Amino acid sequence: MNVTPPGELVTELQPEIREKIDAILVENLGKPGATMLVLTLVQETVGYISPPMQSYLAEQLDVPLSHLYGVLTFYSSFRTSPIGRHKVSVCLGTACYVRNGPTLLEKLKQVLGVEVNETTADNRFTLEICRCVGACSQAPVVMIDDDIAGRVDPSKIGRILRKYK
């Protein structure tokens, strides 16, 4: 359950978010690997881990902020800013790459008006790349949320995106 609406950046630690984080901390402080566990659970709850959340978590976990930030930026699954309502992932695994995956990515960047790992101004889409979604026979593949679109023709990307409000 997201506490923060998609696209809304938390600039200070809101009481309802702090409550959720505190509940996670109470359950997990002192456990082996608590940092990774807490970061994962906070992200699942809030949707991302903002700078104010990072400072609070570093203090509560008794780790340097630089260490926490290092973990957040090392693992690509962690987010430090909000994402759009829909996540658009372009597969650039080998099969998709050789079947025009990069061309598809460029078309998506053009249509959405964003770069990779950015969110559209209306908070509708966040564009990402991934290495393989396991649908190599349908290359090139775009995954929107949990939906896979295969054999995607770059000229048809607008029609595909229109399905997602």
The neighbouring-strand residues paired with 88 are 127, 144
Domain count of the fold of the chain? 2
Residue 36 tokens, joined = 């990774």
Pairing of strands 125-130, 86-91: parallel
Residue 16 tokens, joined = 């309802």
Whether 2 is covered by a domain: the verdict is no
Whether 1 is covered by a domain: the verdict is no
In whole angstroms, what is the distance from residue 89 CA to residue 91 CA? 6
pLDDT in tens, 59-92: 999 999 999 999 999 998 898 888 899 999 999 9
Mean pLDDT rounded to a whole number for the chain: 91
| Residues 143 and 98 grouped into a single domain | yes
| Residues 150 and 90 grouped into a single domain | yes
Percent of the chain at pLDDT > 90 equals: 80
Which contacts of 34-38 are long-range, i.e. CB under 8 A and separated by 24 or more positions? 34/61, 35/61, 35/63, 35/67, 35/68, 35/71, 36/71
**pLDDT score for 14:** 86
| Residues 24 and 68 grouped into a single domain | yes
Whether 93 is covered by a domain: the verdict is yes
| Residues 31 and 52 grouped into a single domain | yes
What is the pTM (predicted TM-score) of this model? 0.70
Q: Which residues contact 116 (CB under 8 A, 6 or more apart)?
A: 105, 109, 127, 128, 129
| Residues 149 and 90 grouped into a single domain | yes
| Residues 27 and 61 grouped into a single domain | yes
Average the pLDDT over 98-111 and give the result.
Answer: 97
| Number of CB atoms found within 10 A of residue 82's CB | 20
| Residues 103 and 133 grouped into a single domain | yes
**pLDDT score for 11:** 56
| Residues 70 and 90 grouped into a single domain | no
pLDDT in tens, 14-46: 889 899 999 999 999 989 899 999 999 999 999
Judge contact between 120 and 112, C-beta under 8 A: yes
Whether 4 is covered by a domain: the verdict is no
In whole angstroms, what is the distance from residue 148 CA to residue 36 CA? 29
**pLDDT score for 13:** 81
| Residues 151 and 99 grouped into a single domain | yes
Whether 25 is covered by a domain: the verdict is yes
pLDDT in tens, 121-138: 999 999 999 999 999 999
Q: Which domain holds residue 54?
A: 15-74
